[in-house]
């Protein structure tokens, strides 16, 4: 089995949203992804990192980590913060729900993660942080 793992840690500032998704895109390049697969993963990473910045850390600067694992054609990503956590994960994942309507959040972050990845799991404890785990099969476009 082909296996490869990476981990990055960065400050929770909005400049790093682009850094995070470009880095993950570069990591997955070895999987021979289609352009659409890369765009899908970039969108999902951007959503998870934005959530950590806005909701997890509420705009304060702390660390976000992304762990990426390639196992043959399976890409697994873990986006973790040690922020305020989510009290009701089920509610947070409902389409159009947002805890911060005053910030013009569309409430579509998890919807997009679920639309673009094969699997999305959220584990969170209030006061301890949130881990978003996402998986996607890559390069299965029959070429």
Contact positions vs other proteins (CB under 8 A)? 13-15, 17-18, 21, 39, 42-43, 46-47, 50, 53-54, 103-109, 111-112, 115
d(CA 50, CA 4) in angstroms, rounded, equals: 25
Q: Which helix (H) or strand (E) holds 112?
A: helix 109-116
Which of these is catalytic: 21, 37, 51, 78? 51
Q: How far is the CB of 5 from other proteins (least distance, A)?
A: 25
Q: How far is the CB of 46 from other proteins (least distance, A)?
A: 4
Q: Which is nearer to other proteins, 31 or 48 (CB)?
A: 48
Told to judge if 100 belongs to the known catalytic residues of this protein, a careful annotator would answer: no
Told to judge if 47 belongs to the known catalytic residues of this protein, a careful annotator would answer: yes
Strands, E, within 29-139: which ranges? Answer: 63-71, 74-81, 119-125, 129-137
Q: Which helix (H) or strand (E) holds 8?
A: strand 3-11
Q: Cα–Cα distances in Å, from 54 out to 10, 38, 44, 79? A: 15, 24, 15, 14
Which of these is catalytic: 105, 114, 125, 128? 105
Q: How far is the CB of 55 from other proteins (least distance, A)?
A: 11
Contact 76, 28 (CB under 8 A): no
d(CA 129, CA 89) in angstroms, rounded, equals: 12
Q: Which is nearer to other proteins, 12 or 124 (CB)?
A: 12
Q: Which is nearer to other proteins, 83 or 109 (CB)?
A: 109
Told to judge if 16 belongs to the known catalytic residues of this protein, a careful annotator would answer: no
For the annotated catalytic residues, the residue numbers are 47, 51, 105
């Amino acid at each position: 089995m082909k296996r490869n793992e990476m981990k990055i840690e960065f400050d929770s500032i909005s400049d790093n949203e682009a850094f995070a998704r470009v880095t993950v895109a570069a990591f997955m390049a070895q999987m021979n992804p289609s352009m659409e697969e890369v765009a899908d993963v970039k969108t999902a990473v951007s959503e998870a990192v934005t959530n950590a910045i806005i909701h997890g850390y509420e705009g304060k600067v702390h660390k976000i980590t992304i762990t990426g694992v390639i196992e043959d054609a399976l890409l697994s990503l873990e986006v973790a913060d040690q922020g305020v956590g989510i009290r009701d994960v089920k509610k947070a994942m409902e389409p159009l729900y947002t805890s911060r309507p005053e910030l013009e959040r569309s409430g579509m972050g998890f919807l997009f993660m679920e639309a673009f990845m094969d699997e999305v799991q959220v584990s969170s404890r209030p006061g301890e942080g949130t881990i978003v785990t996402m998986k996607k099969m890559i390069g299965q476009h029959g070429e």
